[in-house]
């Protein structure tokens, strides 16, 4: 047995492909495999994990299904490390929503309950830098409200910064995924008046966060999400009342 063989992990005890997949995933999570970089060759992984070709290929298929690996075909291709995006979690949530008959209206109801709580928490932990990020996003919306793409981009930045400010990654992931689910149901372009109204309400929310006032932040977010929900239910009732549909 070589030194390399004695140090290499030898997956045993459960389905071999899952064990190998977990070992590769751990390298990605730990930074040993950087996103966008090519994984070892199939031959190298067979030797490293002391398994057969079928096991390695099945492990890569499992990782690809979890968005941790993408497999490029052709010369110079092969498995490439990647990190999953929140859209992937959204797709999984859509699957369970469809099975249980949930609608986007149901998702909006959850946001109505949670967003004010998140704003209250953020008021106590938000940093000056995060406030500046939100102010910059809001300024860009107001500077050119006719640019809908810029509105979408900066509105997302504004919202995500609030989630980040709470300092709880589990909460951030849940809240941003719920936000993405509602965004995916939106029309191709919001009316200008709706964008301007949203910016005004966000300005009030930002001011309350700047004062580090939890009560004011909660109240301002309550107004914002209620106004948003009213817009969806008045103008997009047919869309948000339909069961969420999962698609590949």
Instruction: Kindly report the pTM of this predicted structure.
Output: 0.78
In this structure, is residue 54 part of a structural domain? Answer: yes
Of 43, 66, 81, which residue constitutes the final position of a domain?
Answer: 81
The pLDDT-based confidence of 71 (bands split at 50, 70, 90) is confident
Same domain? 155 vs 210:
yes
**pLDDT of the residue at 73:** 79
Q: Return the pLDDT at 244.
A: 86
Domain stop point among 48, 81, 114: 81
74 and 155 co-located in one domain: no
Residues 117 and 219 in one domain: yes
CB of 218 within 8 A of CB of 120? yes
Structure tokens at 15: 């389905």
- Same domain flag for 172 and 187: yes
In a domain, 180, yes or no: yes
Alpha carbon distance 8, 46 (integer Å): 11
pLDDT at 237 over 70: yes
**pLDDT at residue number 1:** 43
Q: Which residues pair with 29 in a beta bridge?
A: none
Domain boundary among 57, 81, 105: 81
Range of the domain at 176: 86-241
- What phi-psi label fits residue 144: left (phi over 0), alpha (psi between -120 and 50 degrees) or beta? beta
* Banded pLDDT at 3 (limits 50, 70, 90): very low
Q: Are residues 96 and 32 in the same domain?
A: no
Report the CATH number that the domain containing residue 226 is assigned in CATH. Answer: 1.20.120.530
The answer as to whether 3 is a domain residue is no
pLDDT at residue 13, rounded to an integer:
42
**Total domains, the chain:** 2
Residue at 6 is within a domain: no
What CATH number is given to the structural domain containing 20?
1.10.10.10
Same domain, residue pair 31 and 61:
yes
> What are 112's two structure tokens?
């109505």
| DSSP per-residue codes, 183-229 | HHTS-SS--HHHHHHHHHHHHHHHHHHHTT-HHHHHHHHHHHHHHHH
Q: How confident is the model at residue 45 (pLDDT cuts 50, 70, 90)?
A: very high
The per-residue pLDDT for 60 is: 93
Look at the block and give the residue holding tokens 């930045």.
157
Q: How far apart, in Å, are the Cα atoms of 218 and each of 7, 57, 124, 133, 215?
A: 54, 50, 11, 20, 5
Domain co-membership, 57 together with 124: no
pLDDT for the residue 22: 93
pLDDT in tens, 163-183: 999 999 999 999 999 998 888
* Confidence bin at 10 (pLDDT 50/70/90): low
91 & 77 share domain: no
Does residue 2 belong to any structural domain of this protein?
no
In percent, the amount of the chain with pLDDT more than 70 equals 93
Question: What value, to the nearest 5°, has the Cα angle with vertex 159 and ends 158 and 162?
Answer: 95
Count how many residues are written for the chain. 248
By C-alpha distance, which of 118, 131, 234, 143 is closest to 195?
A: 143
Query: Do 49 and 90 sit in the same domain of this protein?
Result: no
- Residue 102 has a pLDDT of 94
Indicate if the pLDDT at residue 35 is higher than 90. no
Average pLDDT over residues 100-106: 94
Q: What is the pLDDT of residues 220-232, one digit of tens each?
A: 999 999 999 999 9
Residues 231 and 122 in one domain: yes
Percentage of the chain with pLDDT > 90? Answer: 65
């Amino acid at each position: 047995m070589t030194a390399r063989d004695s140090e290499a992990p030898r997956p045993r005890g459960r389905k071999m492909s899952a064990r190998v997949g977990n070992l590769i995933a751990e390298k990605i999570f730990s930074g040993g495999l950087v996103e966008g970089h090519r994984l070892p060759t199939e031959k190298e992984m067979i030797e490293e994990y002391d398994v057969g070709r079928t096991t390695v290929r099945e492990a890569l298929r499992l990782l690809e299904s979890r968005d941790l690996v993408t497999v490029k075909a052709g010369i110079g291709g092969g498995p490439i490390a990647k990190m999953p995006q929140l859209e992937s979690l959204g797709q999984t949530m859509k699957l369970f929503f469809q099975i249980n008959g949930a609608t986007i209206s149901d998702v909006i109801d959850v946001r109505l309950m949670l967003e004010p709580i998140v704003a209250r928490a953020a008021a106590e932990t938000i940093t000056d830098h995060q406030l500046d990020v939100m102010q910059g996003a809001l300024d860009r919306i107001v500077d050119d409200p006719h640019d809908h793409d810029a509105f979408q981009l900066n509105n997302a930045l504004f919202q995500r910064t609030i989630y980040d400010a709470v300092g709880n990654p589990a909460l951030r992931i849940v809240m941003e995924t719920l936000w993405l689910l509602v965004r995916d149901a939106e029309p191709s372009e919001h009316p200008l008046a709706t964008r301007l109204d949203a910016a005004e309400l966000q300005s009030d929310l930002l001011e309350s966060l700047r004062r580090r006032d939890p009560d004011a932040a909660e109240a301002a977010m309550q107004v914002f999400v209620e106004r948003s929900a009213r817009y969806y239910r008045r103008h997009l009732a047919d869309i948000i009342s339909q069961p969420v549909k999962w698609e590949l």
